[in-house]
Amino acid sequence: MKVCVFGASGYVGSSIYKLLKEDSAIDVTGTYLEDPAMFDDLNKLDINEPESFSEFYKQQEPDVVVWSVMSGPDEDELIQEGLQHIITHLTPQTKLVYVSTDFVFTEGKGPYAEDDPTSRMPDDHPLSTYANAKVKAEHFINRELLNYTILRAGPIYGENEIGQLDERTEKLLVPLRLKNTVAYRDDLVRTFVHVTDLAQAVIEFVKNDLTGTYHAGPDKSQSYYAFMVQMAEALGYHGDSVEQASEYEEVDKAIPKNTSLMTDKITNAIKQTFR
């Protein structure tokens, strides 16, 4: 089976790529954008560039394509250009495994099931470019494809397969190392998912014939505050270095409160467990 991982040099993509490399039944290729690449054998490719994308894709002709690409402020271009390039090149036999987000539920009234309606953020919200592009991506995939899995994930954490920590944990470590306290909100509730569990779930969907939308993660949700207390302790620091932040900061007021995900569908569908 030939698999192509787009975004194979990223936090999640590195884990997916490395685990696929270790599987002798899979012939895996991957792409990166900015040097240095996390693996020597990745292909440098801007998926927004139609000609180089087309040339690369025709050389590969994969059986499965994994989307682990993200570009924050340029997310809309990535979906309008890069994802469209993939969609127009896929044959009906080629499966797309698309890593999506809990931020498609911008009303923040979770927990959400897979078939709950998604919604857009107001355009003036700082997170709207990313969230609304992911909503658009899911819409394109649903409209244009049959052979796909959309895997939605909440905040992804933990050390990936090449020893990198997620940005949120890196940020938590700064005050902890300086013996300072740090505050997180107790009213923002998420389904946090470990990067290795997610990568392994992606690989199960690479290998199986299941299609449709699934929520990846454990069956528990936590606030940022509760999660970060737990992370601090897991990293060997006192949990009381983490404090509760104010829920009423003007700047944060439009952040969706509860985007937690119901995960029984994936638990019943695949063998992967989520810590």
The residue ranges that bind ligand NAP (CB under 6 A) are 7, 9-13, 31-34, 45-48, 67-71, 78, 82, 99, 101, 153, 155-156
Nearer to ligand NAP, 48 or 94 (CB): 48
- Which CB atom, from 13 or from 110, has the smaller least distance to ligand NAP? 13
Enumerate residues 6+ apart whose C-beta is below 8 A from 191: 102, 111, 153, 154, 215, 217, 218, 220, 221, 259, 260, 261, 263
Q: How far is the CB of 178 from ligand NAP (least distance, A)?
A: 24
Question: Contact, 97 vs 69, CB < 8 A?
Answer: no
Provide the minimum distance between the beta carbon of 8 and ligand NAP in the complex, in angstroms, as a whole number: 7
Distance of closest approach, residue 153 Cβ to ligand NAP, in angstroms: 4
CB nearer to ligand NAP: pick between 101 and 221: 101
Q: Which is nearer to ligand NAP, 11 or 237 (CB)?
A: 11
> Which of residues 7 and 110 has its CB atom nearest to ligand NAP in the complex?
7
Q: How far is the CB of 69 from ligand NAP (least distance, A)?
A: 4
CB of 236 to ligand NAP, least distance (A): 23
Measured between alpha carbons, how far is 38 from 66 in angstroms, rounded to an integer?
17
Closest-CB residue for ligand NAP?
10
